[in-house]
Copies of this chain bind each other. A is one copy, B any other.
């Protein structure tokens, strides 16, 4: 009896805590969407989330920690978005094209994700960014092994891949881009990696499942 109660109570507490945390994160995403990552202050965040100052600090020790949490949040969302499209796709060229296209789509629909992604791509502080980087690296290596890609320096290949991705997102955020901008960027990126134009074009425009 008592133990059931205790367990329930604890559960409820945990739920409430999680909800508050989610509230803060959602509100923060809204702010980032309109104002970018750098300008909002902790005060802006708590006003937007309609929580007390102390509540913020109960959940995040510092502003940076919130930004990190936003990063994780977006990482999860992106994973959820992309992984299904990866299912059963082994060709590294296809995978890279899919990633670029999906990231551009995501940035178009969720500018806040875009802001966060660009930051994540640039600051190489481990975590998801590291995972992503490793994924790209693995695909690039595999592509080379399979003869799909041709380049001398893996470091340069990764650099141009990440650079293209970052710039694709950035451009989506700041300029008006056509509906197939993702496909176009994917094509150019594949070409950089050594895929022939025709083939790059074909892969970049394969229908997504």
Using a CB–CB cutoff of 8 Å, the interface residues on chain A facing chain B are 122, 124, 150-153, 155-157, 159-160, 162-164, 166-168, 170-171, 174-175, 177-178, 181, 184-185, 188-189, 191-194, 197
Name the contact of A167 in the complex, choosing from B160, B171, B184, B185 (C-beta under 8 A). Answer: B160
Task: State the number of copies, please.
Answer: 4
User: Shortest 5 CB-CB distances between A and B: which pairs?
Assistant: A163-B167, A192-B192, A156-B184, A163-B163, A188-B192
Task: Answer whether A188 and B151 are a contact pair too, CB < 8 Å, given A124-B174, A160-B167, A164-B164.
Answer: yes
Q: Verify B160–A188 contact, CB threshold 8 A.
A: yes
Bound-state CA distance A181–B154 (Å) is 11
CB <8 Å contact, B185 and A160:
yes
Q: A152-B184, A153-B181, A184-B153 known; A171 and B159 CB under 8 Å? A: yes
Contacts of A174 in B (CB 8 A): 124
Q: Contacts A152-B184, A175-B155 given: A160-B192 contact, CB under 8 Å?
A: yes
- Bound complex: CA A156 to CA B174 (Å): 13
> Considering the chains assembled together, what is the distance between the CA atoms of A35 and B197 in angstroms?
42
Q: In the complex, which of the residues A166, A177, A188 has the most CB atoms of chain B within 10 Å of its own CB atom?
A: A188
A151-B184, A164-B192, A188-B193 given; name 4 further pairs at CB < 8 Å: A155-B175, A155-B177, A159-B185, A163-B164
In Å, the complex CA distance between A189 and B157 comes to 10
In the complex the two chains form, what is the Cα distance from A148 to B107 in whole Å? 32
